[in-house]
Amino acid sequence: MKIRNKLYFSFFAVVLVPVLIVGIYLTVELKRMALNNAIDQNTANVERVKKRTSDMLKVAYDISYRLYNDHRLSQLATHRYDSIYSVVKSYKSYPDFREYEDLYKEVSGIRLYFDNPTLLNNWEFLQPNADIEGKFWYERAMKTNGLIAWNYIEDDRNGQYNLSLIRRLDFTEDNAKGVLVININSALLNGILNQETFETMIVDEYDNIVAANRPGRVGKTLVDAHFDKNIADRSTGTFNAVVDGRKSRILIEGWNPTDSLNGLRIISVFSVDSIVHEPNRIIRLAVVVISSSILIALLLIYGFSSLLTGRLLRLSKQFSRVASGKLDAALPIDGRDEIGQLSRQFNAMVGRIHELIMEVQDTNAQKSLLEKRQSEIKFRMMASQINPHFLFNTLESIRMKAVLHKEAEIARVVRLLGKLMRQSIEAGHSHVPLASEIDVVKCYLDIQKFRYGERLSYELAIDPRAESIPLPALIIQPLVENAVIHGLENKEEGVTVRVDAEWREDGVHIRVTDDGAGMTAERVDELDAHLRERDEDEEEETGRIGLRNVHMRMKLSYGPEYGLHIESEPERGTRIYFVIPHQPGGGIVHVQRTDRG
| Distance from C-alpha of 576 to C-alpha of 594, rounded to nearest angstrom | 7
pLDDT of amino acid 43: 84
- Asked if residue 259 belongs to a domain, the reply is yes
Q: Label the pairing between strands 199-203 and 264-271.
A: antiparallel
* pLDDT exceeds cutoff 90 at 228: no
Examine the domain organization and report whether 258 and 313 are in the same domain.
Answer: no
Is the CB of residue 338 less than 8 Å from the CB of residue 361?
no
Mean of the pLDDT values across residues 429-433?
Answer: 71
307 and 227 belong to one structural domain: no
Whether residues 453 and 575 fall in one domain: yes
Within a domain: 271: yes
Q: 158-173: per-residue pLDDT in tens? A: 888 999 999 999 887 7
Instruction: Check residues 475 and 424 and name the one with the higher pLDDT.
Output: 475
Domain boundary among 351, 379, 406: 351
**Rounded mean pLDDT of the chain?**
78
pLDDT at 224 over 90: no
Q: Specify whether 249 is located in the same domain as 197.
A: yes
Which CATH number belongs to the domain containing residue 225 in this structure?
3.30.450.20
Same domain for 203 and 310?
no
Q: Are 151 and 137 in contact, with CB atoms under 8 Å apart?
A: yes
Residues 11 and 437: their CA atoms lie apart, in Å, by: 68
CA distances from 320 to 330, 339, 360 (A): 12, 17, 20
576 in the same domain as 495: yes
- Looking at the structure, tell me whether residues 285 and 269 fall in a common domain: no
The secondary element (H helix, E strand) that includes residue 544 is: none
* Number of H-type helices and E-type strands within the chain: 19, 17
- Per the CB < 8 A criterion, the answer to whether 502 and 509 are in contact is yes
Q: List pLDDT tens digits, range 548-569.
A: 878 877 777 777 778 888 898 8
When mean pLDDT is compared across 63-77, 87-101, 252-266, 527-541, the lowest value belongs to 527-541
pLDDT tens figures, 295-339? 887 788 777 777 777 777 777 777 777 777 666 666 666 667 777
Q: Which residues of 45-77 are buried (b: 16+ CB within 10 A; e: fewer)?
A: bbeebbebbeebbebbbebbeebbebeebbebb
The pLDDT of residue 510 is: 92
Measured distance CA(62)–CA(151) in Å, rounded: 17
Q: Do 552 and 534 form a contact (C-beta atoms < 8 A)?
A: no
Taking the CA atoms of residue 485, residue 490, residue 491 and residue 492 in that order, the dihedral angle to the nearest 10 degrees is 100
Measure the CA angle with vertex 540, ends 534 and 541; round to 5°: 125
Inter-residue contact 572 to 518 (CB < 8 Å): yes
* CB of 594 closer than 8 Å to CB of 568: yes
261 and 319 part of one domain: no
In a domain, 38, yes or no: no
State the pLDDT at residue 61: 92
Of these ranges, 95-104, 218-227, 235-244, the one predicted with the greatest mean pLDDT is: 95-104
In a domain, residue 215? The reply is yes
The closest of 97, 96, 91 to 76, measured between CA atoms, is: 91
- Residue 275, pLDDT score: 67
**H runs (alpha helix) in 324-352:** 338-351
Number of CB atoms found within 10 A of residue 590's CB: 21
Residues 240 and 305 in one domain: no
Q: Which of 168-172, 207-211, 518-522, 549-553 has the highest mean pLDDT?
A: 207-211
> Which H or E run contains 404?
helix 388-404
Across-strand partners of 179? Answer: 113, 168
Amino acid 430: pLDDT: 60
527 and 546 both lie in a single domain = yes
Backbone angles phi, psi at 203, to 5 degrees: -125, 140
Classified as helix, coil or strand, 187 is helix
- Is the CB of residue 495 less than 8 Å from the CB of residue 516? yes
Residue 540: band (very low, low, confident or very high) from pLDDT cuts 50, 70, 90:
very low
Query: Which H or E run includes 107?
Result: strand 107-114
- 67: in domain: no
User: At 382, is the pLDDT very low, low, confident or very high (cuts 50, 70, 90)?
Assistant: very low
Report the CATH number at residue 455: 3.30.565.10
| Percentage of the chain lying above the pLDDT 70 cut | 80
DSSP character at residue 291: H
Q: Give the pairing of strands 237-243 and 246-255.
A: antiparallel
Same domain, 214 and 311: no
pTM, full prediction: 0.48
Q: Which residues pair with 107 in a beta bridge?
A: 184
Between 345 and 498, residue with greater pLDDT: 498
What is the phi/psi pair of residue 223, to 5°?
-65, -40
Structural domain including 251 reads 188-276
- pLDDT of 561 reads 79
Which among 351, 376, 404 is the end of a domain? 351
- Domain's final residue, options 351, 383, 411: 351
Q: Is 49 a residue whose pLDDT tops 70?
A: yes
Interstrand relation of 264-271 and 431-433 (parallel, antiparallel or unpaired): unpaired
Q: Which residues contact 513 (CB under 8 A, 6 or more apart)?
A: 483, 497, 498, 500, 573, 574, 575, 576, 593
Higher pLDDT: 292 or 57? It is 57
| Contacts of residue 533, Cβ cutoff 8 Å, sequence gap at least 6 | 548
| Run of H or E residues at 240 | strand 237-243
